[in-house]
């Protein structure tokens, strides 16, 4: 799945979060796309350089043409950021601290869960990295061209608008207490 769609899914998580969480939309958006930062900063530039692109940034075909990326440290950084074990170590200790910590954990997890079906073959997700088990998904969203990516982004943006409208009507119990004090 593309990073923009992940950000929008995180934004939906932020919208669904209790309204007393300060900056809930930014937390959801940021942590929803955070696992892909390793891809944007390390994997794509290295693979683009390896492929000889003028602007060193990889395209989907480069992953097929240069499978040696699988052995490079940049790809392992991506695997780590997409590991449920990493998520558990990085987020669960902070779960009880605040609503913002819970929201960050949920938004980050939404990214990992959304990626599980969208990575197949040798690029299947390793949800328990560094334990070497590859979950073979059902489709390769990382090979999508611009039109399917745009459709994914637009569809998720429309879903956000629907959730935002519904969220105006449905409140968390703590929010009802704040609106209608006894």
Mean pLDDT of 3-9: 95
pLDDT at position 37 = 93
Using a cut of 0.85, tell me whether the model's pTM lies above it. yes
148 C-beta neighbours (distance < 10 Å), count: 13
DSSP 8-state secondary structure symbol assigned to residue 42: I
The arithmetic mean of pLDDT across residues 96-125, rounded, is 91
Please give the pLDDT value at position 22. 94
pLDDT at res. 180:
53
pLDDT, tens digit, for every residue of 31-53? 999 999 999 999 999 999 999 99
- pLDDT at position 121, please? 79
Diameter of the chain measured on Cα atoms: 67
Count of domains for the chain:
1
Q: Is 135 helix (H, G, I), strand (E, B) or coil?
A: strand
Q: Which domain holds residue 175?
A: 3-179
Cis bond upstream, residue 45 (ω within 30): no
At residue 137, the pLDDT reads: 80
Give the residue, 180 or 78, on which the prediction is more confident.
Answer: 78
Provide the mean pLDDT of the chain: 90
Q: Which of 18, 16, 38 lies closest to 163 in space, CA to CA?
A: 16
Question: For residues 153-179, b (16+ Cβ closer than 10 Å) or e, as one string?
Answer: beebeeebeeeeeeeeeeeeeeeeeee
pLDDT digits (tens, 9 = 90+) for 151-161: 999 999 999 99
What are the pLDDT digits (tens) for 117-143? 888 878 888 989 999 888 888 877 767
Cα separation, 21 vs 14, in Å, equals 9
């Amino acid at each position: 799945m593309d990073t923009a769609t992940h950000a929008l899914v995180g934004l939906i998580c932020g919208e669904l979060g209790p309204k007393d969480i300060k900056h809930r939309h930014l937390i959801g958006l940021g942590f929803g796309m955070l696992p892909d930062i390793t891809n944007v900063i390390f994997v794509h530039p290295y693979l683009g350089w390896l492929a000889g692109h003028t602007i060193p940034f990889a395209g989907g075909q480069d992953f097929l043409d240069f499978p040696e990326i699988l052995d490079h440290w940049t790809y392992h950084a991506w695997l780590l950021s997409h590991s449920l074990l990493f998520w558990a170590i990085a987020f669960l200790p902070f779960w009880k601290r605040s609503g913002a910590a819970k929201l960050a954990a949920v938004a980050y997890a939404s990214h990992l869960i959304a990626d599980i079906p969208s990575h197949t073959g040798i690029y299947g997700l390793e949800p328990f990295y560094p334990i070497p088990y590859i979950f073979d998904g059902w489709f390769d969203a990382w090979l999508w061209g611009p039109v399917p990516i745009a459709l994914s982004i637009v569809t998720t943006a429309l879903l956000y608008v629907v959730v935002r409208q519904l969220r105006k009507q449905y409140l968390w119990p703590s929010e009802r207490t704040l609106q209608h004090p006894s």
